[in-house]
């Protein structure tokens, strides 16, 4: 299976906002658009990480919970660390390590 270039989001906007502790009601349109973009980015990153074990038909209603959890974890990372702060360099490495711990059993090790 190949990863779609424009995958469906693996989490809903409501799930993402709840995970990030953001309030959608009254959220400025620009911030909402940024959130929706980051949901797509996190979804694509997780699917790419899973390689052949990713199902291109997954969406926010059919994705396995462990994959949804990894998507939310990576979303939190990209939401918090946009590259415009003085974040320690190892923050990205820790995000990848967390994703690896969550998804290790689902990933096809021959495709690393």
Tens digits of residue pLDDT in 5-40: 677 999 999 999 999 999 999 999 999 999 999 999
How far apart (Å, rounded) are the C-alpha atoms in residues 67 and 89? Answer: 25
Distance from C-alpha of 7 to C-alpha of 40, rounded to nearest angstrom: 7
Match 């096809």 to its residue by tokens. Answer: 108
The CATH class of the 13-107 domain is: mainly alpha
In this prediction, residue 109 carries a pLDDT of 60
Q: Is 88 exposed, middle or buried (0-12, 13-18, 19+ CB in 10 A)?
A: exposed
E strand or H helix at 112:
none
In the numeric block, the tokens 């990713």 are attached to 54
In this prediction the pTM is 0.81
Query: Where are the chain's structural domains?
Result: 13-107
């Amino acid at each position: 299976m190949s990863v779609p270039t424009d995958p469906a989001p693996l989490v809903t906007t409501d799930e993402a906002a709840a995970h990030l502790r953001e309030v959608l009601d009254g959220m400025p349109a620009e911030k909402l658009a940024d959130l929706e973009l980051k949901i797509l980015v996190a979804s694509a990153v997780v699917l790419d990480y899973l390689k052949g074990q990713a199902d291109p038909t997954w969406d926010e209603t059919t994705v396995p919970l462990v994959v949804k959890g990894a998507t939310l974890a990576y979303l939190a990372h990209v939401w918090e660390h946009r590259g415009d702060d003085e974040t320690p360099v190892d923050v990205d490495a820790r995000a990848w390590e967390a994703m690896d711990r969550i998804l290790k059993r689902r990933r096809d090790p021959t495709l690393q």
